[in-house]
Structure 1
Amino acid sequence: MRFIRPVVYSVMAVAIGTGGFLLSSKQVAGSAQTGLSSHPTAYIETNEVGASFKIGGRITEVLVKEGDMVKKGQPLARLQSAELEAKVAQAKAAVSLAQGKIAEAKGATATAEAKKQQASAGVSATAEASEQQVAQAEAAVKAAQAKVDALHTGARPEEKQQAEIQYQAAKQVFDIADQNLKRMQTLLEQGLVAQADVDKVKVSHQEAKAKLELAEQQRALVNQGPREEEVRGAEALLEQAKAALGLAQAGRAQVLVRQGDVTAAEAAIQQAQGAIQSASSGEQQAKAAQQEAEAYQSYAELIAPADGIVLAQTAQAGELVGSGFPVFSIQATDSQWAKFFMTEKSLAGLKVNDKIRLKLLATGQEVTGTVTSIAAAPDFAIKKATQTLGETDVRSFGVKVELPGLPDGAVVGMTLQWIGTTEG
């Protein structure tokens, strides 16, 4: 009994010591765990993008290989594009044809406008000439009537005076006819009247000249008295003058004909302008088709979507590929980042756009990043506690940090350690 008590006490002492050691070890381990959670690590990562054609076809050229550095917009490969080139050429020909139709329609418009101006000038000239012819014919009728009246009344002193008046009237008619003939010849040289109109005026001029000569003779013979043949001749001249007056009055209808030419020219102008609008619409449609064909032609060239390194090539020259098939896989280098998983206590006070100090473990260099997002991690990243000693569940949060200024020696996959936010 005396022997058992010391043994029990010894066992109890060992148990108490072991328990204290285990508790101390757990506290130390907990402290170490807390220290590690305040300085988590993550890897340098980047996006991996695929490069694929927008259209399907046979690859004719491959311009890069795996491991090559490429720049955004750099050609990577090309498809067979003979058919697309033919469509572009066809679209360009359609544009040229439409532009030719526009030029043709504009030429027709200019011609119609010139005809309208010419017809308008002809209307004015014809109206003026017609009125002058009517005035001339009316004066001739008056002169012929006066001559007939004088012959019927006999040769008296008044008749001498009348003969003189007739002579002066005939001379006035001749002067008007002479002026009219000169004016019409000038208009003919300018192309504003027809030769037929000038010929009519010439006839009137010759008639006026003959009448003037006759009036002069009548003035000389007035003292001898009229003879029968003279009376008949004067009456014939009167009828001739009346006929000339009727012809001059009928010539006024030529003005309406000229006005019809103006109307026709205006209709031609409207038609030509409509042709211009139609051709312009055709040109726009042809240009749109050309742009579409050129866009499809550009799709025959595969362009790098981002700066980076060619990781893999899945098609070779001569192979047929479909639209959207990833010909190359590119590791982008224009945007690098790291994602840290932290407990909610570690990220207390952290917010988006904060500047973070990080250490590149491979070289010991310090770099700076920017927090771009903070989000709760998925359920598989949650550590379930045992609920003993008052512990609670530990939830992880993903903190994404953009790395715009990594040193030259840093490559994708290297480890970064979280130091803390910058003072600024």
Structure 2
Amino acid sequence: MKIKAGIYIGMAIALIVGGSLLTVKGKDAVSQAESRKQGILEAEQTTIIYKENPALIVKVGVAVGDFIKEGDLLFKVQSAEEGEKDVLSPDDGLINRIVVKQGDQVKQGAAMAMLQKTNYYADLYIQESEIQKLELNQKIDVHFPYLDHPIQVSGVVTSISVAPQFASLRMTREKGQADLSMFSVRISIDSNADLLPGMTAEVKLNELTD
């Protein structure tokens, strides 16, 4: 019995010591979960604005869902002052909305179409205690864990700002604890054929160094 008791005590001590070491190193399950920050992949969008004299749209050269390149023809317009002119795409991207149609009159400043650009980004919310791991223009790996074949792409920190509407700990009179600040961090992400807006993007802070 004494031998068995000694074995059990030894196992318990080993488990406690091992668990403590994992916690100290930040490798336990809780620490790993806390270090994983997730956000939703978004695509930058731009509105195509008509910038010339009032004109008549004589041709619509694209349809919703078309992928276009910078400089591709979007519309042909005709005005009394300048005759027929082309309206070209300012960026690469996907046409996800067309506001005007052939035969419409457009004025300077009128919206013509909405372009979903190939530039992606994700906004993450980081605690004050961890924000020192990130800085502007820092390169960072971004994971997409829920794809059939999870992928990793490169990203860049493009903005860091206080997110006052978020707090991980609210002030309580009983404990006298103040809110812990959260920061909104925007990561600009390289385009990839496997990525679509709405996917979950993940950054692992434990992969970074202070």
The answer to whether TM tops 0.5 is yes
Residues 34 and 388 of structure 1: CA distance in aligned 2, closer, same or farther (over 3 Å): farther
Aligned with residue 411 of structure 1, among 164, 189, 196: 196
Task: Note if contact 1:315-1:327 (Cα within 8 Å) is conserved in structure 2.
Answer: yes
2:51 is the counterpart of 1:54: yes
Aligned with residue 38 of structure 1, among 32, 35, 47: 35
Residues 32 and 387 of structure 1: CA distance in aligned 2, closer, same or farther (over 3 Å): farther
1:303-322 aligned within 5 A: 303-322=88-107
2:175 is the counterpart of 1:362: no
2:158 — aligned with what?
372
1:19-418 aligned within 5 A: 36-55=33-52, 56-81=54-79, 83-85=81-83, 300-333=85-118, 335-363=119-147, 364-377=150-163, 379-383=164-168, 384-389=170-175, 391-404=177-190, 406-418=191-203
The answer to which structure, 1 or 2, has the higher relative contact order (CA under 8 A, 6+ apart) is 1
Task: Note if contact 2:155-2:187 (Cα within 8 Å) is conserved in structure 1.
Answer: yes
> Greater share of helix residues, 1 or 2?
1
Structure 1 residue 411, shift from structure 2 partner? 1.1
Alpha-carbon RMSD across the aligned residues, in angstroms, is: 2.4
Task: Note if contact 2:171-2:177 (Cα within 8 Å) is conserved in structure 1.
Answer: yes
The structure number with the bigger radius of gyration is: 1
Structure 1 residue 390, shift from structure 2 partner? 5.1
Task: Note if contact 1:37-1:343 (Cα within 8 Å) is conserved in structure 2.
Answer: no
With 306-315 and 358-367 compared, the bigger mean Cα shift is at 358-367
Structure 1 residue 308, shift from structure 2 partner? 0.8
Counterpart code for 1:72:
E
Task: Note if contact 1:44-1:412 (Cα within 8 Å) is conserved in structure 2.
Answer: yes
Task: Note if contact 2:55-2:80 (Cα within 8 Å) is conserved in structure 1.
Answer: no
Deviations 1:317-361 (A, max 9, x none): 00111111111011111x221111111112223212222222102
User: How many percent identity over aligned positions?
Assistant: 25
Q: SS at 2:103's partner residue?
A: coil
Structure 1 residue 35, shift from structure 2 partner? 5.3
Using the alignment, how far apart are the partners of 1:360 and 1:319 within structure 2? Answer: 43
Using the alignment, how far apart are the partners of 1:57 and 1:356 within structure 2? Answer: 47
> Greater share of strand residues, 1 or 2?
2
Task: Note if contact 1:357-1:422 (Cα within 8 Å) is conserved in structure 2.
Answer: no
Counterpart code for 2:102:
A
Give ranges in structure 2 of 5+ residues lacking alignment.
Answer: 1-27
Counterpart code for 1:341:
Y
Using the alignment, how far apart are the partners of 2:45 and 2:123 within structure 1? Answer: 16
Task: Note if contact 1:58-1:320 (Cα within 8 Å) is conserved in structure 2.
Answer: yes
Using the alignment, how far apart are the partners of 1:399 and 1:51 within structure 2? Answer: 28
Using the alignment, how far apart are the partners of 1:373 and 1:348 within structure 2? Answer: 14
| Number of aligned residue pairs | 177
Using the alignment, how far apart are the partners of 2:130 and 2:42 within structure 1? Answer: 22
